Amino acid sequence: MNEMSAARAAFEARLRRIGEERYHDRHPFHALLHSGGCTIDQVRAWVVNRYYYQCRIPMKDAAFMSRVEDPALRRAWRSRIEDHDGSEAREGGIARWLKLAEAVGLDPEYVASAKGVLPATRFAVDAYVRFVRDEPLLKAVASSLTELFAPKIHAERIAGLLEHYEFATSETISYFRHRLNEAPKDVQFGLTWVLDHAVTPADQDAAAAALTFKTDVLWAQLDALYSAYIAPGNIPPGAWRPGEGLAP
C-alpha cells in the first residue's frame, strides 16, 4: 500500500470509528424498541417524531443540489429525493413511513401534518437542513455518511419489530427493507466523494466534524423521545400525547 492509499484508508477508518462510538444504534431507545420493550404508545411517539426527520430529508437533499455546480454530481444525488418522494410509478419512503404510521394505529394525516413533533426534534432536524444548506459542500456530503452505519440498525430493526410487535409485517415495515437497498448505493458514492475531496488534514478534520455533528442530530432526537415518553416521561407542552392523532 503506498503512502497515499494508506492515508486514505486511515481517514476512512477514522470516519467509521465515529459511527462505532456515536451512531444512534447505541442509544438505549433502540435497544428498547428492537427488543420489544416499547409500549404501542412509545412506538407511536417514535413514528410521529421520526416522520419529521424523514420528511425533511428530501428538502435537505434539494438544498444540497441547489449549491452543486456540477450536473454529474447533481444527477448522482437526485435519486435520493426520488427514493423519499417517490414517483407516479413508485411509492417513496415518505409514503412508506405513513403506512407504518397507519399500522401502529395513527392517522397518517395527523402524522404528515407534523403536529405534535417534539420541539427538540424540530431543532435538531432543522439544524441539519441548515447545515447542509450553509456549510461547504465537503461537510454537507460528509454529514450524509451516517448512512454507512444504517444497514446494521435497519437489519436489527426489521428482525426486532417482526419478532416482537403485532403491527409489524413485511408490508407495514417496508420502509426499512427499501432503505437496506437504497442506502448502500448512496453511501458508497458519498464515501468515495469525501475520500477523494478531503485530502488535507484540515479538510479531513472538517469532514470528521460534520459526521460527528450528524451523529449528534440523530442522538438528540432519541434523547428527546426518551425523555418525553420513556423516562422520566415529561411530555413538553404541545407535543403528541397518547390518544392523540389516532386513526378514525
Binding site residues, its own copies, CB under 8 A: 55, 58-60, 62-69, 71, 74-75, 78, 81-82, 84-87, 92, 94-95, 129, 133
Q: Sign of torsion, CA 197 198 203 206? A: positive
Rounded Cα gap, residues 108 and 110, in angstroms: 5
Residues 6 or more apart whose Cβ sits within 8 Å of residue 101:
47, 48, 51, 107, 108, 111
CB neighbour class for 3 (10 Å; exposed up to 12, middle 13-18, buried from 19):
exposed
Grid coordinates in use for 73?
454530481
Rounded Cα gap, residues 126 and 117, in angstroms: 12
- Residue 106, strand partner residues: 246
Nearer of residues 89 and 202 to its own copies, judged by Cβ: 89
Rounded Cα gap, residues 153 and 98, in angstroms: 20
Rounded Cα gap, residues 240 and 49, in angstroms: 9
Max CA distance (Å), the chain = 64
Rounded Cα gap, residues 248 and 231, in angstroms: 29
Element (H, E) at 239: none
> Which among 180, 178, 169 has a CA at the least distance from the CA of 84?
178
